[in-house]
Amino acid sequence: MSAAPVSAAASITTERRVSIRDLRVRYTPESPLVLDGVDLDLHRGEMVALLGSSGSGKSTLMKALTGFAPITSGSVRADEFDVAHLGRGELRQLRSRVGQIFQQFNLIGRLSVLTNVLTGSLYAAGPVNMLGTFRSADRKRALELLDRVGIAHKAGDEARTLSGGQQQRVAIARALMQSPTLILADEPVASLDPTMSRVVLELLQSIARDEQIPVLVSLHVLPLALAHSDRIIGLRHGEIVVEGTTGELDAERLAPVYDTRDGEEDS
Ligand SMILES: Nc1ncnc2c1ncn2[C@@H]1O[C@H](COP(=O)(O)OP(=O)(O)OP(=O)(O)O)[C@@H](O)[C@H]1O
């Protein structure tokens, strides 16, 4: 996708990695629209926070980017892929380039931290390597990434013995092992205490800058979004109701995202 850098100081460029236009999603023909006319661009180097009440469509928006949610109408471009029209091979290729971080970390608990990180390389390597051993270059890279996220000293430990914050950093190292062109983090700090939440979000923001990729992160805690993202998107009933840079927004301007005056049960 296109264009030249505008903000070298902030390391955020105008180069789009994701472009969503008039996206509508419904899961079944009978069910209501979960996303209703969403337009969104994500640029290299930026961390974008997705806010919205439970059920507003945050996870669905992320799933639409990797072909896990049905695109009822509109267009979704991620990297060079037109997500609505991908064959199985292209879909696999797209998913191999998208690092995904989840609330529950999704590590294999009885395997070592290092092996968990190495599994990130399997996506790209395909079925042959899945059966074989990891290359020494991959092991070296996995150790470097563990060092980067601050837990190289845990490389040999079983993943299940780590704290939540440490496990999430393993998951981030695993995502980096994919050399991702985009990271999607779906409520990555919902299970973490406030201090560890900040550590993880700072890490994700630095990755966006250093790797020059977009990071889209869904959050439930407004102050965390304001403190640790470059831009905020507010979803309500499947529509973007607020959008702006963190410098432009505050709690009052973001109120429409959580407005319950129409009687909705928001969380
Ligand atoms: N696979 C599915 N099939 C049918 N409906 C679904 C499916 N996944 C999600 N939905 C519905 O889509 C709506 C949006 O769900 P989604 O998980 O995207 O919201 P969310 O904003 O991520 O919520 P939360 O903050 O609770 O995770 C909900 O009404 C949900 O029930």
Q: What are the tens digits of pLDDT across the range 65-87? A: 999 999 999 999 998 899 999 99
What's residue 134's pLDDT? Answer: 74
What is the structure's pLDDT at 266? 46
Protein residue closest via CA to atom 13 of ligand 1: 55
Asked whether residue 232 carries a pLDDT value surpassing 50, the answer given is yes
ipTM: 0.97
114 pLDDT more than 80: yes
Tens digits of residue pLDDT in 118-170: 999 887 655 545 555 678 888 999 999 999 999 999 999 999 999 999 999 99
Is 56 a pocket residue for ligand 1 (Cβ < 6 Å)? yes
Q: Is 27 in the pocket of ligand 1 (CB under 6 A)?
A: yes
Q: Are 171 and 105 in contact (CB under 8 A)?
A: yes
Q: Is residue 141 in contact with ligand 1, taking CB distance under 6 Å? A: no
55 alpha carbon – ligand 1 mean position (Å):
5
Q: What is the pLDDT of residue 3?
A: 45
Radius of gyration (C-alpha) of the chain in whole angstroms: 18
The Cα–Cα gap between 97 and 78 comes to 10
Segment 153-165, tens digit of pLDDT: 999 999 999 999 9
Instruction: State the average pLDDT over residues 33-59.
Output: 96
Verify whether ligand 1 is closer than 6 Å to residue 54 (CB atom). yes
Atom 5 of ligand 1, residue of closest alpha carbon: 27
Q: What is the residue-averaged pLDDT of the chain?
A: 89
Token pair in block for residue 58: 């945050």
- Find the DSSP H helices in 98-251: 113-125, 127-131, 136-148, 164-177, 194-211, 222-228
- Split at pLDDT 50, 70, 90, the class of 16 is confident
Ligand 1, atom 26, residue with closest C-alpha: 54
Global pTM value = 0.90
- Report pLDDT digits (tens) over 193-213: 999 999 999 999 999 999 999
The phi, psi pair for 232, rounded to 5°, reads -125, 135
pLDDT computed for residue 9 by the predictor: 44
| pLDDT above 70 coverage of the chain, percent | 88
Mean pLDDT of 6-22: 72
Among protein residues, the one whose CA lies closest to atom 30 of ligand 1: 55
Does ligand 1 have an atom closer than 6 angstroms to the CB of 55? yes
Tokens coding 163 = 């704290």
Q: State in Å: Cα 222 to ligand 1 middle.
A: 20
Q: How many residues does the chain have?
A: 267
- Say how far residue 145 (Cα) sits from the centre of its chain: 18
Report the alpha-carbon distance of residue 233 to residue 58 in Å, rounded.
10
Mean pLDDT lowest among 13-17, 93-97, 172-176 = 13-17
What the block records as the tokens of 227 is 């403190």
> How many Cα atoms sit within 13 Å of 218 on the Cβ side?
20
Average pLDDT over residues 235-260: 92
Angstrom distances, CA of residue 233 to CA of 20, 132, 172, 201: 13, 42, 22, 16
DSSP characters for 206-254?
A: HHHHHHT--EEEEES-HHHHHHH-SEEEEEETTEEEEEEETTT--TTTT
pLDDT confidence of residue 179: 94
User: How far, in Å, is the centroid of ligand 1 from the Cα of 61?
Assistant: 10
Compute the distance between CA of residue 39 and CA of residue 25 in angstroms, rounded to an integer: 13
Would the CB of 167 count as within 6 Å of ligand 1?
no
- How far does residue 27's CA lie from ligand 1's centre (Å)? 9
Q: Is 238 in the pocket of ligand 1 (CB under 6 A)?
A: no
Residue 224 scores a pLDDT above 80: yes
| Cβ neighbour number for residue 190 with a 10 Å cutoff | 14
Q: Which domains does the chain have, with CATH numbers?
A: 16-106+182-258 (3.40.50.300)
Ligand 1 lined by 60 (C-beta under 6 Å)? yes
